[in-house]
């Protein structure tokens, strides 16, 4: 049982990351950020539940966990926040125990603390609160009424989770039971997510303020003097409130750079690489090997190894890298490219072999006498993202543009055509234009992309929560 934290994917613990990487199946809840799930290869099962509408009932979830575990799979039960803070983690643990299923609990950051911090509210402060109390606003149907007389007289900060439907009742009961009508209150919706919003007022007026702002669940209700600190301590990052889409890459430099500026970043899927069996050249004959991309060379090496042939067979071959990126990747594996690609410099008196991806090789206008080995093909992945939820997409390469476009349906492609697209370099911008994308901003490097995003959205803060 793993706590996913309040929403921001980088608030996941190190142990949680390791357990998710080890899992065969991830059973996750509605509030888990999709960006958090992207790095993991496990089968993913969404059992998310909406208020008054359970996609999968708790009883079904319990049985599912037992059945998956008893089938021999390593199951990661991923729950928003901390599993044991109003997340039914204790109930699921009891059920697993009763059915003799071993499990561990990986704690997560609870929104009751981290969500407040994201809005600039310290849950305790020497001048305002030396204690805090976390209370659920969502009770079992047969549950008893909260002890309002006791709650209203507690010293410190009160945090209500899952209480938006009861906001009016919470405010009324606190005042009826002796809490001052001028007590500060804040409501924080979607804490640490891109669409985080917050308002503050006093107990007497908070319901009207929330209604006017159209703030709903999921949200935290915070009552106490610490709310006064929100205007002073609320984070003000340059890209805060922006939701940006980028291609998935493990340990993405782009992801980190955008998140550090306050943006919330999510991923679209890249095409899947599928190896292809090819007729290999006579390695003893020698010649020129033109490596158009490193993945093609990797699959080429794998086929050689299956035949019992290793890297020593390259001694008779000149290695030509299509570009500096390929040359750098070869160097990382201990191979130095003899040259960068220039068709005019190829020695056509000896065998010339091009290694590449199937579609890319088909578009390459090389010598007719050369041999073209497509050692893999890229299979488009249907994109499940709702493009209307994003302010812009960032493309670091031409391949990433094609990966997203190929995986979109017609409706998504229509959305993409008018969506702001940041292209890293003119070549990438040209590829966007070729596919009919219109709102293109070209920026040559990671740093330039950050500045371009800031410039593009610096005067558009009003649209940052609701999207485009």
Domain with 143 in it: what CATH number?
3.30.950.10
* Residues 253, 386 within the same domain: yes
> Given this model, what pLDDT does residue 467 score?
38
**Interval 139-161: pLDDT, tens:** 654 467 889 999 999 999 999 99
Residue of 252, 283, 463 whose CA lies nearest to 371: 283
* Residues 349, 439 within the same domain: no
* Residues 200, 302 within the same domain: no
* Residues 147, 105 within the same domain: no
> Given this model, what pLDDT does residue 92 score?
95
- Cβ atoms 245, 422 nearer than 8 A: no
Q: Is residue 238 part of a domain?
A: no
Instruction: Provide the pLDDT confidence category of residue 50 given band limits of 50, 70 and 90.
Output: low
Which residues constitute the domain of residue 400? 243-271+381-463
Phi, psi of 335 (to 5 degrees): -120, 135
Residue 221 pLDDT exceeds 50 = yes
Residue 63 pLDDT exceeds 70 = yes
- Exactly one of 1, 29, 79, 230 is catalytic; name it: 29
What's the CATH code of the domain at 432? 3.40.50.10090
* Residues 267, 277 within the same domain: no
* Residues 256, 399 within the same domain: yes
**Interval 12-21: pLDDT, tens:** 999 999 999 9
> Given this model, what pLDDT does residue 463 score?
47
> Given this model, what pLDDT does residue 141 score?
43
Active site residue 49: yes
Among 79, 109, 139, the domain-final residue is: 109
Instruction: Please state, in angstroms and as integers, the Cα–Cα distance from residue 367 to each residue in 200, 284, 353, following that order.
Output: 69, 22, 10
* Residues 253, 388 within the same domain: yes
Active site residue 162: yes
Q: Is residue 216 part of a domain?
A: yes
Residue 298 pLDDT exceeds 80 = yes
Average pLDDT over residues 187-209: 96
Distance CA 358, CA 365 (A): 14
- Exactly one of 1, 162, 322, 424 is catalytic; name it: 162
Residue 170 pLDDT exceeds 50 = yes
* Residues 8, 50 within the same domain: yes
* Average pLDDT across the chain, whole number: 92
Residue of 363, 452, 447, 437 whose CA lies nearest to 400: 437
* Residues 359, 279 within the same domain: yes
Distance CA 184, CA 205 (A): 10
Distance CA 369, CA 105 (A): 62
> Given this model, what pLDDT does residue 313 score?
87
* Residues 211, 248 within the same domain: no
Active site residue 82: no
Among 67, 91, 109, the domain-final residue is: 109
**Interval 324-374: pLDDT, tens:** 989 999 999 999 999 999 998 898 899 999 999 998 899 898 899 999 999
* Residues 156, 30 within the same domain: no
Report residue 332 CA to chain centroid gap: 28
Q: Is residue 468 part of a domain?
A: no
- Exactly one of 49, 195, 228, 273 is catalytic; name it: 49
Q: Is residue 23 part of a domain?
A: yes
The stretches of 23-57 forming alpha helices (DSSP H) are 34-37
Residue 458 pLDDT exceeds 80 = no
> Given this model, what pLDDT does residue 48 score?
82
Return the number of other C-beta atoms located less than 10 Å from residue 454's C-beta: 14
Residue for token pair 């669940």: 217
Average pLDDT over residues 432-440: 94
Q: ∠ CA(316), CA(321), CA(326), 5° rounding?
A: 125
* Residues 375, 385 within the same domain: no
- Structurally, how many domains does the chain consist of? 4
Residue 459 pLDDT exceeds 60 = no
> Given this model, what pLDDT does residue 445 score?
87
Average pLDDT over residues 292-302: 94
What six digits make up the tokens of 78? 């991923």
Distance CA 153, CA 410 (A): 58
Residue 114 pLDDT exceeds 50 = yes
- Cβ atoms 246, 428 nearer than 8 A: no
Q: ∠ CA(257), CA(199), CA(209), 5° rounding?
A: 150
The size of the chain, in residues, is 468
What is the helix (H) or strand (E) element at residue 213, kind and residue range? helix 206-213
Return the number of other C-beta atoms located less than 10 Å from residue 119's C-beta: 24
Distance CA 225, CA 122 (A): 10
Among 210, 233, 256, the domain-final residue is: 233
Average pLDDT over residues 259-286: 92
């Amino acid at each position: 049982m793993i706590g996913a934290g309040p929403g921001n994917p980088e608030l996941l613990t190190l142990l949680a990351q390791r357990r998710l990487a080890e899992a065969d199946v991830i059973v996750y809840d509605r509030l888990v950020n999709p960006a958090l799930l992207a790095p993991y290869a496990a089968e993913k099962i969404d059992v998310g539940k909406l208020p008054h509408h359970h996609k999968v009932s708790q009883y079904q979830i319990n049985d599912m966990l037992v059945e998956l575990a008893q089938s021999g799979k390593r199951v990661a039960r991923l729950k928003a926040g901390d599993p044991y803070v109003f997340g039914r983690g204790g109930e699921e643990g009891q059920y697993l125990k009763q059915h003799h299923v071993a499990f561990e609990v990986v704690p997560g950051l609870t929104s009751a603390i981290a969500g407040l911090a994201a809005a600039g509210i310290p849950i305790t402060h020497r001048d305002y609160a030396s204690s805090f109390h976390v209370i659920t606003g969502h009770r079992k149907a047969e549950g008893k009424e909260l002890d309002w007389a006791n709650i209203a007289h507690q010293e410190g900060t009160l945090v209500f989770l899952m209480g938006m439907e009861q906001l009016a009742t919470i405010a009324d009961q606190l005042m009826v039971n002796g809490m001052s009508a001028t007590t500060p209150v804040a409501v924080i919706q979607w804490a640490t997510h891109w669409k985080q919003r917050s308002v503050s007022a006093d107990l007497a007026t908070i319901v009207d303020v929330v209604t006017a702002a159209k703030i709903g669940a999921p949200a935290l209700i915070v009552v106490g003097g610490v709310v006064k600190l929100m205007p002073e301590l609320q984070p003000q990052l340059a890209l805060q409130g922006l939701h940006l889409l980028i291609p998935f890459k493990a340990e993405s430099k782009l992801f980190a750079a955008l998140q550090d500026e306050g943006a919330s970043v999510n991923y679209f899927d890249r095409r899947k690489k599928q190896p292809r069996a090819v007729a290999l050249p006579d390695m003893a004959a020698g010649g020129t090997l033109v490596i158009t991309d490193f993945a093609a060379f990797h699959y080429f090496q794998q086929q050689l190894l299956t035949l019992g042939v290793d890297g020593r067979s390259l001694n008779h071959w000149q290695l030509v890298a299509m570009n500096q990126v390929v040359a750098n990747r070869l160097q990382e594996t201990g191979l130095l490219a003899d040259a960068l690609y220039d068709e005019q410099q190829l020695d056509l008196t000896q065998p010339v072999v091009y290694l590449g991806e199937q579609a890319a090789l088909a578009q390459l206008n090389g010598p007719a006498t050369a041999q073209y080995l497509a050692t893999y093909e890229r299979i488009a992945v249907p994109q499940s993202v709702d493009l209307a939820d994003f302010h812009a997409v960032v493309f670091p390469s031409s391949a990433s543009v094609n990966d997203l476009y190929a995986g979109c349906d017609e409706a998504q492609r229509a959305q993409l055509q008018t969506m702001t697209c940041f292209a890293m370099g003119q070549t990438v911008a040209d590829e966007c234009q070729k596919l009919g994308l219109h709102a293109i901003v070209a920026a040559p490097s990671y740093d330039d992309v950050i500045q371009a995003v800031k410039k593009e959205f610096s005067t558009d803060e009003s649209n940052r929560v609701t999207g485009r």
